[in-house]
Chain A
Amino acid sequence: MDKILRVNMNDLTTTVEEVPTEWAGLGGRALTSTIVAKEVPPTCHALGPNNKLVFAPGLLSGTAASNSGRLSAGAKSPLTGGIKESNVGGTAAQMFARLRINALIIEGMPKGDGWFSLRINKDGVSIQEESGLLGLGNFAVIDALQSLLGKKTGVMAIGPAGEMKLTSANISVKDPSGKIRSHGRGGLGAVMGSKRIKFISIDDEGAPGIQIAEPEKFKAASRIFTKALMDHPVSGQGLPTYGTNVLVNILHEAGGLPTRNFTYGQFDGHEQISGETMHETIVARGGKPRHGCHAGCVIQCSQVYNDKDGQYLTSGFEYETIWGLGANCLIKELDDIAQADNVMDDLGIDSIETAVAFGVAMEAGILPWGDGKEVVRILRDEIGKGTALGRVIGSGAGAVGRTYGVTRVPVVKNQAIPAYDPRSVKGIGITYCTSPMGADHTAGYTIATNILNVGGQVDPLKKDGQIELSRNLQIATAAIDSTGMCIFIAFPALDIPECLPALIDMLNARFGATLTGDDVVGLGKTILKTERAFNLAAGMTNADDRLPEFFNSDPVAPHQAVWDFTNEEIDAFWNF
């Protein structure tokens, strides 16, 4: 039986429920956003007892489909005040799916000061008191749980940042190497911390496994889908070789690499932090240039980055993190950024929000531009120990700006703008403005078409076609986020005609359904509108769909581009 696990932290009870009919065809983001919209009062305090934290594997998670192992998490965000969905690789989604758990819903808040953990297995979910692992970083938590519960155990945990309910806190999920992937954005770790749950362990021993309605059809579609992923130069060659960080040099060249807290569009240290340099460094030090964030990933854009002595330093070392501390904070030493990435993983804090917060802190004069060693010290000794400064930086870019009177604060809906300057890459600016998630490049990745020439070409410096581009991509992304697929399947899906039909064929074969392309588009639209309705009911208005005003007034070099969309043009995004 497919089931919903519900945990009530008010009275420390758990229940196993049948999946209601209206949720039966939903997975991933479609399910977490639907549950949050239905069950969470939009005006509640995100860290109060009325918020709920929901996890759901994607519709294809647990199957043999390539790249289908993403887990969705949802709640009201303490960072944005709106709805939040954040998805992640790691091992948990496939374990949920094999246990036939469609969703885990955590609600309420315990009385007293005690902390707890959740244990999930074939019999359901149980609550234990927890004290031994409190205060520990994520790496120590995962190591301890692997010793206690075995190497195969699934882990979802918060670090000290989540325990302190910092609004940049993330939820860390164990990956196939026993390291960490993160539900990074929007402060979902603070929501887990507010419910005083340090970790969730998953044991899929004796799981009933996945049932496929039409196995032969599924296999046939799966082969076509995997071939498309391998054939496309981005997913089949570029990403596995250079990782996402190949973008540093490209965005620098295009003048869209935000530099010195979004003052310039180019960084003179770009080569030192580029994907090309990173690839050479990894190979020279015996790291792994390619690595999957979940079993079944054929793209393998992750990597293992070693230090000068050949010892593990970090993995899942992403373009956004490297850009954020690199160009945006003017740090030129890749090793310093890698060290910071490791500490952020251990503390359980979003590396995009935190990197942008450091850029604002440097603008405020709290630490010198380019001082990577001081960034690592502040992470460890201020954020890690919960000092006043640490809590301000750990509460994100908006909090740093408000505290220190900085006006150049790159946020939308109080969430930090990542990695691509919206003045010189205008399509992504529309996504930042309109996504119900706050500034989020993954919500509608127009970089593909604005910069990379995937899915056609739309001039990044002109306004023409950007609204439509962002809208189409946001709709498609909402649907993809519901399948459990990695967003990078979008590269082949945009260019190879057989790719998307094969994905729909897999969904139909899995569930014995008869979905069409129009149904999938319809699902994406419904998800976006559900999320938007939650935000409006929470008190947001069209005025929240805007970039900070410095983007209108300050031209960005080298193209001297400004953000020049009118409010009416932006609002037209929602005409669908």
Chain B
Amino acid sequence: MEPIHVTIKLFAHFRDGRFKEAEHQFAPGVDCRQIILGLGFRLGEMGIVMVNGQHAPLDYQLNERDTLALFPLVGGG
């Protein structure tokens, strides 16, 4: 099967030693959890996980050309 293309965006200290934004290829059916662990994060570090600008559960399966945004638990106001 053809791989799917997913844009991954990282924010705040998640960028340290990694990247801001990059396109990755995955096997179809990949979910948020697998991508997060594959990038070397612990699930407990995740504050906000968004797919295409909406909060997504860890078992959300990504589709071709989705954007996955990962934020540590941060806030302001």
Contacts and interface: CB of A to CB of B under 8 A. Distances in A.
B27 interface: no
Contacts of B38: none
Nearest to A451: B48
Contacts of B15: 276
Interface in A446-494: 447-448, 451-454, 457, 459-461, 487-488, 491
Contacts of A454: 73, 75
A243 B55 contact: no
A234 interface: yes
A246 B71 CA distance: 10
A234 B75 CA distance: 5
A238 B73 contact: yes
B36 to A, nearest CB: 15
B42 interface: no
Given A238-B12, A276-B11, A250 B71 contact: yes
Given A246-B74, A250-B74, A301-B76, A452 B48 contact: yes
B77 A441 contact: yes
A457 B55 contact: yes
A340 B48 CA distance: 32
Interface in A228-266: 233-235, 237-239, 241-247, 249-250, 253-255
A447 B11 contact: no
B77 A319 contact: yes
Interface in B41-77: 47-48, 50, 53-55, 69, 71-77
Contacts of A447: 75, 77
B73 A488 contact: no
Contacts of A253: 9, 11, 50, 53, 69, 71
Nearest to A487: B77
Contact of B75 (A271, A276, A448, A457): A448
A244 B76 contact: yes
B74 to A, nearest CB: 3
Interface centre among B13, B50, B71 (most CB of A within 10 A): B71
A310 interface: no
B77 A233 contact: no
Contacts of A242: 12, 74, 76
Interface residues of A, number: 41
A452 B47 contact: yes
Contacts of B20: 271
Contacts of A276: 11-12, 15
Interface centre among B12, B69, B76 (most CB of A within 10 A): B76
A457 B75 CA distance: 14
Nearest to B70: A253
A559 interface: yes
A311 B60 CA distance: 48
B75 A238 contact: yes
Contacts of B76: 238-239, 242-247, 275, 301, 319
Contacts of A491: 75
B48 A453 contact: yes
A252 B75 CA distance: 14
Nearest to A420: B77
A208 interface: no
A8 B63 CA distance: 69
Contacts of A461: 54
A558 interface: yes
Contacts of B12: 238, 241-242, 246, 275-276
B75 to A, nearest CB: 4
Contacts of A255: 53
A250 B14 CA distance: 13
Contacts of B74: 233-234, 237-239, 242, 246, 250, 452
A96 interface: no
Contacts of A239: 74-76
Interface in A180-201: none
Interface of B: 9, 11-13, 15, 20, 47-48, 50, 53-55, 69, 71-77
25 contacts: A237-B74, A238-B74, A238-B75, A239-B74, A246-B12, A246-B74, A246-B75, A249-B11, A250-B11, A253-B50, A254-B53, A275-B12, A276-B15, A442-B77, A447-B75, A447-B77, A452-B75, A453-B73, A454-B73, A454-B75, A459-B55, A461-B54, A488-B75, A491-B75, A559-B53
7 nearest A-B residue pairs (beta carbon): A244-B76, A238-B74, A234-B75, A233-B73, A247-B76, A255-B53, A452-B75
Given A235-B75, A246-B12, A276-B11, 8 more contacts: A237-B72, A238-B73, A246-B76, A247-B76, A253-B11, A253-B50, A253-B69, A488-B75
